[in-house]
Amino acid sequence: MLQFDVVTLFPAMFDAVTEQGVTGRARSRGLYQLVAWNPRDFAGNVHRTVDDRPYGGGPGMVMLVEPLRRSLNAACQRQCGQGVAKPRVLHLSPQGRVLDHRLVLELSREQGLVLLAGRYEGVDERLFGHQVLDHAVEEISIGDYVLSGGELAAMVLMDAVVRQLPGALGDAGSAAQDSFVDGLLDHPHFTRPETYEGMVVPPELMSGNHAVITRWRLKQALGRTWQRRPDLLERRKLSVEEQQLLDEYRRELEGVR
């Protein structure tokens, strides 16, 4: 069972992950466990203070080292008690390594993940000193923008990781067909009715010929990636067949225009 521990000022926010949808079902099946830690419970005064004004001035507040240190070390100790050899501690931060499919797969193979969801203007940098925490901290970003806190980013990471766990999805093949799995965006999808507002389902999908369907889906995935995320194609070496399909897609697009 994958162990998640999250350090957050708002533990109730994670009910959206643990109680709903794919991640809720995965938790009920025993595929992962989530324990939340509130830094206020580790504060050093009766006011449960977890932040203070930044040195050097400026707007906002900065999260204190000590409550975070205590809560993160407690989370790591819990995981070690559950048999996790080396918990991986992740700070959700716009300054971190960008979360992509490769990293999601890497994280899904871990025994335990400890997530730090910061708030305010940031975290006192001294938290990340080697002598402060029992385990090294990595920074992970979900994109080049800023959120009000790390909770939503932590939930995004959890959702992406949990759906990769065996048994999390109703159809084991669903995750294998997602966007980015093979470096391409996903192909278009259709369901009933066959005709809607004059628009019909592509005949290839109605043919019943699996080879034709597979070819059409790959061509559409290549074409959609070329149109919407050409940077992904620049990282991928296309096979001869894939290049031919992409060229065919382009010709068909020009024909429509």
Positions annotated as catalytic residues are 94, 121, 163, 178
20 half-sphere exposure, CB direction, 13 A CA radius? 7
Q: How far apart are CA 212 and CA 203, in angstroms?
A: 10
Closest Cα to residue 29, out of 129, 162, 156?
162
- Measure the CA–CA gap between 21 and 170, rounded to whole angstroms: 11
